[in-house]
Structure 1
Amino acid sequence: MLSTGFLWLGLSICSEITGTSFIKKTNSFRKLGPSVLVICAYSICYFALTKAMGYIPVGIAYSLWCGFGIVGVTFMSMILYKQKPDLPAIIAMVLIISGGVIMNVFSNM
């Protein structure tokens, strides 16, 4: 049952990363294609997050969703927009991932 929750959570995270990464390409929602992609991605994201929270404790699901979303969007911004994170950003992402792993492995929520 728990693995089902993580599959839903993975779909939610991927959809959130996609939606957030393409917001800039919508040109303030003036371009139809990217705008539809963003709206669909966020719809899938929140539907899947809702399903994941039926299997995974809310605190763990939300912390993993936020943390991996932040890291994923940062990587996508490197690819799509040629943005380069500096050392403090890289350190922060390592801490975010570490926090998610620690919470998932050691928490009894």
Structure 2
Amino acid sequence: MFNIGFLWLALSISAEITGTSMIKKTANFTRLWPSLLVITAYSLCYFFLTRAMSSIPVGIAYSLWCGFGIVGVTLFSMILYKQKPDLPAIFAMMLIITGGVVMNIFSGM
């Protein structure tokens, strides 16, 4: 059975990735539109996260939010800022994803 909390969590992760990825474009919050995008994205991110945590245990929701946020921001930084993760960074992200999947599938929380 589908838990709607995971939809809220996906929306929260997407908003967090958007906000974090755009921080660099704000130029220390001196540019209006990128700054408004960051503020809006983070506001939505935390709203969606609170909705997700109403039906997903806090530990699972937060670990997935952090892990997939890290991986998502890294992928976006590759596109937006031409940053290239090295082999240890790629390995670490694989561990993060694996940890999130294992926690979600096997945890009894």
CA distance in 2, matches of 1:56, 1:82: 35
Q: Which runs of 5+ in 1 are unaligned?
A: none
Distance in 1 (CA, whole Å) between partners of 2:47 and 2:99 is 25
Aligned length: 109
Identity %: 75
Matched residue, 1:70: 70
Q: What TM-score do you get using the length of structure 1 for normalisation?
A: 0.98
CA deviation after TM superposition for structure 1 residue 3, in Å: 2.0
Instruction: Write the distance in 2 (CA, Å) between the matches of 1:3 and 1:68.
Output: 18
RMSD, aligned CA = 0.9
Deviations 1:41-69, CA, capped at 9 Å, x for gaps = 00000000001000000000000000000
TM-score (structure 2 length as normaliser):
0.98
Residue matched to 1:37? 37
CA-CA distance at 1:74 after TM superposition: 0.1
Structure 2 gaps of 5+ residues are none
Q: Distance in 2 between matches of 1:2 and 1:37?
A: 31
Q: CA deviation at 1:2?
A: 5.4
Where has structure 1 moved over 3 Å in runs of 4 or more?
none
- Does the 8 Å CA contact 1:20/1:38 hold for their aligned counterparts? yes
